[in-house]
Every structure is written in structure tokens, then in C-alpha cells.
């Protein structure tokens, strides 16, 4: 079996970076941890390069390493939370990529006056999802990946990926149902200032 | 504008779309990967001899440059096929020339790694959603498979026009649409660029999507009849805008009626 060259690894890693990043941030439910997870996963992968068959899917192989690394990060973080004094509650808002949030403007053509609150609640609702279900939802929403691609990255059957996305969306809708009622009372403002 | 969905389905759909957009904003990945940790890994891993260290990082830089074109240092780093191994680097005519070349490469590599971080930081501040170009026909098929549901149904002509004004710099309205055609709604399927606006419509029961963007954002997109998808892609340029209409029908049926708003 030919071994992947390190330069080839870097190239493939760059190509897959965005999907792996979304996977890492989905599993940890914390986009600020994603880069750390990826870096650790990449170093692990480089150490195991001889185990990878270049004829197989790099994304699938790397995704598995990212998943295990991300779950480890979660375990360590949860253990630290329970061991430290003044433990934060489970309802603490998850870290949001602030630079992205600050620059988000009228992508919808509409602006809602409670947009920031809504984003915070979306993150909180996402955190309540099971990591695998959360990963499926994010890969679908952020990247628009097909269910076959999601299944390859997560390492589950395609039907399961489809079911996860469907159930995740239903769960999110239920948790954010109060915004549905607010939408009905026309809580919108025109794009024109 | 006709809207065949029930009120509850409309509310669910609108909430779904709002959630989707929020997720995209919050979990948008960086556009440029951070590779400085890999350079450190290679430098610490390889032997202490300058040439072997620098050769290893030279391969890394070439791989990054070839795949991402992040920084234009092509005068120093020449393009090489991915996978060329260290042996070809060490076959330079003389040891001194090799060392000089490697020192130059090291400088370029440092600039590439540092420069890409600034570039990535600049891009992330100016970009809310990650964009990966996909064939328009693929986006069309996905939208149809998903029920051909728009992100929002805009019944206010002024709001419709101002959406395009804000995103594409030109206020547009659908004017004089024939009875056989109807507007379904607007979506943000990306398409040409991150800023594209998509118009979903129907003509003779055929779903049609018009991707609208600034002409400066145009990219190489296949037009004409796309055999594998049994779809037609028609490109029209007008008013500093580019329109790509995707549908099963041979000619553009909606784009001709998507016109600048009368002042």
C-alpha cells in the first residue's frame, strides 16, 4: 500500500478543512474549539499516516479522527466543569463566533428586531441536540451537503443521516416555537432604514 | 401574489429558514485554514540539518500555494505537482545554490503562513457564510427535491426591489409576467457567489430558478443544455448584473421580466 506523502496530506487537509471544521464545531457545540480540535486531529492523523490507504476516502478517514478528538475535548471540558468550583449551569450560552455575528446583516432581506436573542437561542437549542444529530444538521445547513456525503463524514447510514436532520429540525422548531408566534404578530422591520 | 401554503406551514417554513440562516452565520467556518501548526510540526519532527527542514516546509508551502493561491509569491516558489518528494529537491546542481534557494523558500514560506492568516482574518470579517462554488444545476435539483420552497415569499414590491438593491446594487421587480408564469419567492442559494439572490418561479408548471448577481462576481459557469441534468442554463448580462436562469425549458422565461424598478 502506497503511503500518503505529507505534502499530499496538507493539500487534502486544506480541501476538507471547512467540512471538518463544521464537524468539529458541531460535535463540541463550540465554534471556538473547532480549530483546536482540528489541529490536534491533524497531528494525530500525521502520526498515523501509514495506516491510511490513499485509495480510500481521505474525508471519511479524517472525519473519524476529528470525531474522536472532538468527543475527547467534550469529555475533558465536561469533567473540568464538574470538578471546578462555581460550576456553570447547563444553560450557559455556548461561545459564538463573535466576528461573524457582528458582521451578519440583512442576508434574508428582512431584519428582525430580536435577531441577536434569536441567534443565542438557536445556539442553545443546538447544544441540546445529541452530537451526532447536531453534526448532521450543521453539515446540511452550513454546507448544504447531500445525505450521502453527510453519512460518509459521520460514518452512519444515509437513511440515519436523513432522519437525524429531519428530527433535529423538528426539535429546533419546537424549542424556538415562541419565535414562530412572534413572527405571526408581525415583529419585523423594513430593510429600508 | 398567490400563496398556496397554509398559515401554519408558512410559519414553520419561515422559522426553519430563519434557523437555517442563523446556523450559517454562527457556524460559518474560516475561509483559510490555519497551517502554522503544521509547519511547526514538520520543523520539530525533521532532522536538524537546514536543507532537510526547509525542503519539508517547502513541500508544505507548495501544497498550500497550489491548492489555495493565497499569496502571490510565485516568483520564488514554483508550481510543482503535489506528491513530488524530497529527492527531486536535493538534485539541484550545487549544494550552495540549493541552500540559497532553500533560504529564499523559507522566507517565502514564512510570508505565506503569516500572510494567509491576515488574509483569512480579513476575509472572515467580510464574509458571513462560507461559499463553495457548486454547479447551478445541482443547486436547482436540490431545491426541487426539497419541495421548491423559497426562503421567503415577498408580496411587497418595494421590499422585493430593495432586496436586490441592497444585495446587487440594482432595484429589480418582475414586470409584466405572462399568465403562464408565476413568482414563487426568493431564496439565498448562493450560486454565482456568496451574494447571489435566487428567484424561484414557475412557467407552465416547470420550476425555474434565476440566480442574480453583480457582473463583477461572475465566474465560469456552464451554459446551454446540460445533458446529464436535462436542464438548460441561460446567461444574460444587463445593468451591470448577470442572470443565470436554470430550468427544463430551452429559453429564459423569467429573466426578461426581471427589470430595474421604474423610478
What pLDDT, in 10s, does the model give residues A31-63?
888 989 999 999 999 999 888 998 889 999 999
Average pLDDT, chain B: 72
Q: Is A175 exposed, middle or buried (0-12, 13-18, 19+ CB in 10 A)?
A: middle
Assess A123–B contact: CB distance below 8 Å, yes or no. yes
**pLDDT for A2-12, tens place per residue?**
888 888 888 88
Question: Which of B9, B17, B27, B54 best probes binding to A when mutated, by most A CB atoms within 10 angstroms?
Answer: B27
Q: State what percent of residues in chain B have pLDDT above 70.
A: 62
**Residues from chain B contacting residue A18 (CB–CB below 8 Å):** 29-31, 130, 132
Confidence grade of residue B49 (pLDDT, cut at 50, 70, 90): very low
Continuous segment of H or E residues that includes residue A101: helix A98-103
Model ipTM?
Answer: 0.74
Q: What is the b/e burial string over B3-25, where b = at least 16 CB atoms within 10 angstroms of the residue's CB?
A: eeeeeeebbbbbbbbbbbbbbbb
- Which of B19, B37, B70, B197 to mutate against chain A (most A CBs within 10 Å)? B19
Q: Residue B74: its pLDDT value, please?
A: 37
Residue B163 is predicted with a pLDDT of 85
Cβ within 8 Å, pair A172-B19 = yes
Distance of residue A20 Cα from the nearest chain B Cα, in angstroms: 9
CB contact under 8 A, A142 and B126: no
- The pLDDT tens digits of the residues spanning B162-212 come to 888 888 999 999 888 899 999 898 888 878 887 889 999 999 889 999 999
Best probe of the B interface among A8, A10, A99, by most B CBs < 10 A, is A10
Chain segment B208-247, per-residue pLDDT in tens: 999 999 999 999 899 999 988 899 999 999 989 999 999 9
Report the greatest alpha carbon distance in chain A.
64
pLDDT one-digit tens code per residue, A70-81: 989 888 877 776
Q: In this model, does residue A104 exceed pLDDT 60? A: no
Q: Does residue A170 sit at the B interface (CB-CB below 8 Å)?
A: no
Residue A11, classed as helix, strand or coil, is: helix
C-alpha cell at B256: 426578461
pLDDT of res. B87: 40
Report the mean per-residue pLDDT for chain A.
77
Query: Hey, is the C-beta of A189 within 8 angstroms of any chain B C-beta?
Result: no
Bridge-partner residues for B235, per DSSP?
A: B244
The pLDDT of residue B94 is 57
Say what the pLDDT of residue B77 is. Answer: 35
Establish if A62 touches chain B: CB-CB under 8 angstroms.
Answer: no
- Pairing state of beta strands B224-226 and B231-238? antiparallel
Residue A143 has pLDDT above 80, yes or no: yes
Quick one: closest CA in B to A192, which residue? B162
Q: Residues B89-104: pLDDT tens digits?
A: 444 455 666 665 565 5
Count Cβ atoms below 10 Å from residue A130 Cβ, excluding itself: 12
Check residue B96 and give its pLDDT.
63
Amino acid at each position: 500500500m502506497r503511503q500518503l506523502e505529507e505534502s499530499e496530506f496538507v493539500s487534502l487537509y486544506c480541501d476538507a478543512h471547512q467540512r471538518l471544521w463544521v464537524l468539529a464545531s458541531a460535535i463540541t457545540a463550540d465554534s471556538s474549539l473547532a480549530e483546536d480540535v482540528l489541529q490536534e486531529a491533524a497531528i494525530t492523523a500525521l502520526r498515523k499516516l501509514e495506516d491510511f490507504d490513499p485509495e480510500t476516502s481521505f474525508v471519511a478517514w479524517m472525519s473519524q479522527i476529528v470525531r474522536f478528538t472532538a468527543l475527547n475535548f467534550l469529555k475533558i471540558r465536561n469533567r473540568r466543569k464538574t470538578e471546578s468550583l462555581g460550576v456553570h449551569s447547563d444553560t450557559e450560552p455556548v461561545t459564538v463566533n463573535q466576528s461573524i455575528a457582528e458582521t451578519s446583516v440583512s442576508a434574508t432581506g428582512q431584519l428582525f428586531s430580536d435577531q441577536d436573542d434569536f441567534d443565542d437561542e438557536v445556539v442553545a437549542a443546538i447544544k441540546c441536540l445529541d452530537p451526532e444529530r447536531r453534526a448532521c444538521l450543521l453539515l446540511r445547513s452550513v454546507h448544504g451537503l447531500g445525505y450521502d456525503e453527510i453519512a460518509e463524514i459521520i460514518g452512519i447510514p444515509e437513511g440515519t443521516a436523513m432522519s437525524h436532520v429531519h428530527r433535529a429540525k423538528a426539535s429546533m422548531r419546537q424549542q424556538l416555537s415562541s419565535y414562530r408566534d412572534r413572527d405571526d404578530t408581525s415583529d419585523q422591520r423594513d430593510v429600508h432604514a | 401574489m398567490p400563496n398556496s401554503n397554509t398559515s401554519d406551514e408558512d410559519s414553520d417554513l419561515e422559522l426553519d429558514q430563519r434557523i437555517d440562516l442563523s446556523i450559517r452565520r454562527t457556524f460559518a467556518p474560516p475561509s483559510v485554514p490555519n497551517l502554522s501548526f503544521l509547519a511547526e510540526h514538520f520543523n520539530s519532527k525533521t532532522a536538524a540539518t537546514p536543507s532537510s527542514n526547509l525542503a519539508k516546509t517547502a513541500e508544505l508551502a507548495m501544497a498550500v500555494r497550489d491548492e489555495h493561491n493565497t499569496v502571490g509569491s510565485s516568483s520564488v516558489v514554483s508550481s510543482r505537482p503535489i506528491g513530488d518528494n524530497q529527492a527531486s529537491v536535493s538534485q539541484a546542481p550545487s549544494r550552495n545554490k540549493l541552500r540559497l534557494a532553500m533560504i529564499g523558500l523559507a522566507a517565502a514560506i514564512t510570508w505565506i503562513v503569516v500572510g494567509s492568516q491576515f488574509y483569512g482574518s480579513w476575509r472572515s470579517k467580510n464574509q458571513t457564510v462560507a461559499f463553495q462554488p457548486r454547479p447551478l444545476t445541482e443547486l436547482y435539483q436540490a431545491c426541487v427535491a426539497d419541495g421548491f420552497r423559497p426562503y421567503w415569499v415577498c408580496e411587497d414590491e418595494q421590499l422585493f426591489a430593495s432586496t436586490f438593491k441592497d444585495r446587487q446594487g440594482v432595484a429589480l421587480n418582475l414586470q409584466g409576467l405572462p399568465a403562464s408564469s408565476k413568482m414563487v419567492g426568493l431564496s439565498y442559494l448562493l450560486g454565482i457567489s456568496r451574494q447571489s439572490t435566487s428567484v424561484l418561479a414557475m412557467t407552465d408548471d416547470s420550476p425555474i430558478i434565476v440566480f442574480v448577481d453583480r457582473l463583477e462576481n461572475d465566474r465560469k459557469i456552464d451554459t446551454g443544455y446540460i445533458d446529464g441534468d436535462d436542464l438548460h442554463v441561460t446567461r444574460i448580462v444587463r445593468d451591470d448584473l448577470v442572470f443565470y436562469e436554470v430550468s427544463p425549458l430551452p429559453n429564459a422565461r423569467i429573466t426578461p421580466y426581471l427589470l430595474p424598478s421604474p423610478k
